[in-house]
Structure 1
Amino acid sequence: MVPCSKENRPMTKASQKSTEKTTPRPDTVRLQRISKAFWESAAFMSAIELGTFTAISNGADSIESAARAMEIETVNAERLLMVLTAMELIERSGDTFSNAPDVERFLVRGKPGYAGPWMLFAKPDWRKWGKLTEHLKAGQEEQRRLGMYDETFTIERARKYHEATYSIGMGAARRFHKQVDLSGRRKLIDLGGGSGCYCIVAAKTYPELTAEVLDLAPVVAVTREYLEENGVADRVTATPCDFTSDALPKDADVAIMASNLPQYGREIIADVVARVHDALVPGGEFHLIGEISDSDGRGPLAPALWGLAEALAHSTGLAHTVSDCVGYFESAGFESISVHEFIPNTLTRVTGIKP
């Protein structure tokens, strides 16, 4: 008989129990939390609509005073504040409440960085998300090249859309211009630039720079309002353009495409990147900023969800990966291609130079 070594010795009942203790038995807690995640979203959005965070910031920091400020019953204020505390959106000390730092900065009405409209941006899509299974079963014949930007996309829809996205867009534009030095550049084009945030900040940062926002006609009508409001309409223009198919200006040395990447499929983006390369002057740079997944396709979650959302719009869009985007740049002929974290776990910037 060959004696058993420690490696192949049979596991005793005692050692088996010890292993079971160190390996937690799966339960449904995480799964239940995911299934009810929309409860948290509902509480969060109601707090914004009711002005809860604004009320607390202005001194209505008890259940009773917050109830009066929100014009709801005291018991409902208690219910809501308890959830917001558990979500760590507000902090509680005895019977007094205060906003968490990020809430105080971005969700108090009247403050410069107020982002309430952006946080409510997805609320109109609740019913669609409830029918996600039906949308996922839709056939390819129902796909639309431009997704939500079909013939029903009006000036009023564009205005409402950009009222929600403008504040967050300005924040992203300021971040970009802190990361990227455009000194010496002469003209910037922004593909699908919407309210014109990247061009507005560029014009205010670089007096010698001109810029052009390229977007669909209903959007451009709204873009011009933001350009006038920011006092840059003399140096920033807005031109009706479907950048996925129309000719691009040939005199720019900087191009940006930001936060609209998941709306389009791989074939469309590869073609756009190639046409940007051809349109830029030699030495020009292109910055593709978007909700980009890691090359291994394991995350982050935010880009994956933005890609999934395109099923609701029946577009060709999806979550592109870093390797996808680098491949588009390489195939187009860009050099000095680099990848940069833009907003952690949400946005990535891919940059290339035209030789």
Structure 2
Amino acid sequence: MANESTQGQRGASPDIIYRLAYYYDTKTFLTSVSLGIYTALSAHPLSSQDLARRLSLHPEACEVLLNALVALELLYTQIDSHSGDLVFANTPVADTYLVEGRPEYMGEWLRVDDQSWEVWGDLEHVTRGYGRRKQSIYAPTSAESIKLAYMYDQEAQALSPKVIDELDITDESTKRVLDIGGGGGRYAAEAVKRGQHISAVVFDRPPVRAVFDNVVKQSNLAGRMSFISGDFHTDVLPRNFSLALVFDVLHLQGPTKNRDLLWRVRGSLEPGGRVAIKEVLLNDNHTSPRRAALFSVNMMAHFPDARCFSAKEIASWLAEAGFDEIRVHDTFPGLMTARVPIVNS
């Protein structure tokens, strides 16, 4: 009764604590994806024993896991009309997003999250300032780095037309595009498609060259796109471009390196040239949107100094680097542009 009285006086409930305090939901879900449970159930419902045999799982452990997935509303149960057995089936959301081979399959990214489990386990260690004991799956030297580059390219295929539409590069002023840390160069390729007068250079680390070559071949843009190997964190950038793309790069490093990068980006652009930045943006006090605030923790767990930033912070760095016409695009969240001034003699 005392607890109820105290709770009533404070107007608080421990529900949010219970919801956040346990790994139960997340690890149960990610494990089910890694095991391929939803793909195995996509043809027809199966009993726990049949599914355990198909996936080489421990029968009793499989049943416990499947029951939990029913509680999570990813599976449901029914009685098989022929055998009379209790069988498990995918819910519509699981059937749409968690079955390998389906157009909207999300399992590859979820497996990446599952492989980051040990990195997240170091969060207290990192927050205390002791550094990272596990290598990030996103690190350039990671065995998964090329696979991730292909996954980013698939994601960019869907987004790139919308982003390039927003940049409006149909006039003759955009001739040479520099895609910094662009991986396969899917955004640059989309820009090049907008006019015969446009060419592009992708500047990124050597291992992603294979992804770039695949994009150029798919897009039939040989001769209009090229790849320069380099490290955008430190290297001098090529020069004389009319548009620089800095997409999903700033959250990989801290403010000091980002200021330096934007100075180097300005040096790569001709007078009147533009920079386009795509980021997961925080509000000015860094507490929302929820996804951005949590993604910022994710980046901190993976890389030294990495985190998300606000549009206000990025705009200040652009101004320091000498850009003007700084704009946050309300019609495409996370997109910012700025221009190098034209100095009249």
TM-score by length of 2: 0.78
Q: Which moved more, 1:64-73 or 1:273-282?
A: 64-73
- Kindly indicate whether the alpha-carbon contact (under 8 Å) linking 2:66 and 2:88 is maintained by their aligned counterparts in 1: no
Identify which of 278, 292, 295 aligns with 1:303: 292
Q: Match for residue 282 of structure 1?
A: 271
Question: Which whole-Å CA distance do the structure 2 matches of 1:256 and 1:21 have between them?
Answer: 52
CA distance 1:32–1:329, change in 2 (3 Å): same
Q: Give, in whole Å, the separation in 2 of the partners of 1:55 and 1:223.
A: 34
Change (3 A) 1:268 1:65: same
Q: Assess, with a 3 A threshold, how the Cα gap between structure 1 residues 255 and 137 changes in structure 2: closer, same or farther.
A: same
Tell me by how many angstroms 1:56 deviates. 4.1
Alignment partner for residue 351 of structure 1, among 328, 337, 344? 337
Match for residue 32 of structure 1? 18
SS of the residue corresponding to residue 284 of structure 1 reads strand
- The Cα shift of 1:300 comes to 2.0
Residue 230 of structure 2 corresponds to residue 241 of structure 1 = yes
Do the aligned partners of 1:285 and 1:353 also contact (CA within 8 Å) in 2?
A: yes
- AA at the equivalent of 2:16: R
Aligned pairs, number: 326
Q: Secondary structure at the match of 2:270?
A: coil
- Pair 1:167-2:158 in alignment: no
Query: Aligned match of 2:117 in 120, 126, 129?
Result: 126
Assess, with a 3 A threshold, how the Cα gap between structure 1 residues 232 and 86 changes in structure 2: closer, same or farther.
farther
In the TM superposition, residue 240 of structure 1 has moved relative to its aligned partner by: 0.9
Does the 8 Å contact 2:252/2:303 carry over to 1? no
- 1:351 maps to a residue whose letter is T
Q: Distance in 2 between matches of 1:323 and 1:127?
A: 33
Per-residue CA deviations over 1:21-73 (Å, capped at 9, x if unaligned) read: 9767534331122121x332222222322333334443337767766665546
Task: For structure 2, list consecutive stretches of 5 or more residues without a partner in the other structure.
Answer: 80-86
- Amino acid in the other structure paired with 2:274: E
- Conservation of the 8 A alpha-carbon contact between 2:45 and 2:88: no
Would you say 1:334 and 2:323 are equivalent positions? Answer: yes
When structure 1 is superposed on structure 2, of 61-70 and 254-263 the one drifting more is: 61-70
Q: In 1, distance between residues paired with 2:34 and 2:136?
A: 25
Partner of residue 117 from structure 1, selected from 108, 114, 123: 108
Q: 1:187 to 1:99 in 2, by over 3 A?
A: farther
Instruction: Give CA deviations for 1:255-291 in whole Å, capped at 9, x if unaligned.
Output: 1112232211111112222322232223322111112
Question: Are the aligned partners of 1:155 and 1:222 in contact in 2 as well (CA < 8 Å)?
Answer: no
Distance 1:172 1:107, change over 3 A: farther
Residue from 27, 37, 46 that aligns with 1:52 = 37
Distance 1:85 1:204 in 2: 47
Q: CA deviation at 1:128?
A: 2.3
| Residue in structure 1 matched with residue 82 of structure 2 by the alignment | none
The whole-number CA distance in structure 2 between the counterparts of 1:313 and 1:240 is 24
State the percentage of identical aligned residues.
Answer: 23
| Paired position in structure 1 for 2:83 | none
Q: TM-score, normalised by structure 1?
A: 0.76
Out of 144, 154, 158, the position equivalent to 2:145 is 158
Alignment of 1:1-355 (within 5 A): 25-36=11-22, 38-60=23-45, 70=55, 72=57, 76=61, 78-89=63-74, 97-101=89-93, 103-138=94-129, 153-154=140-141, 156-184=143-171, 185-204=174-193, 206-228=195-217, 230-340=219-329, 348-355=334-341
Amino acid corresponding to residue 159 of structure 2 in structure 1: A
Alignment RMSD: 3.6
For structure 1, list consecutive stretches of 5 or more residues without a partner in the other structure: 1-18
Equivalence for 1:16: none
In structure 1, C-alpha distance between the alignment counterparts of 2:162 and 2:51, rounded to whole Å: 35
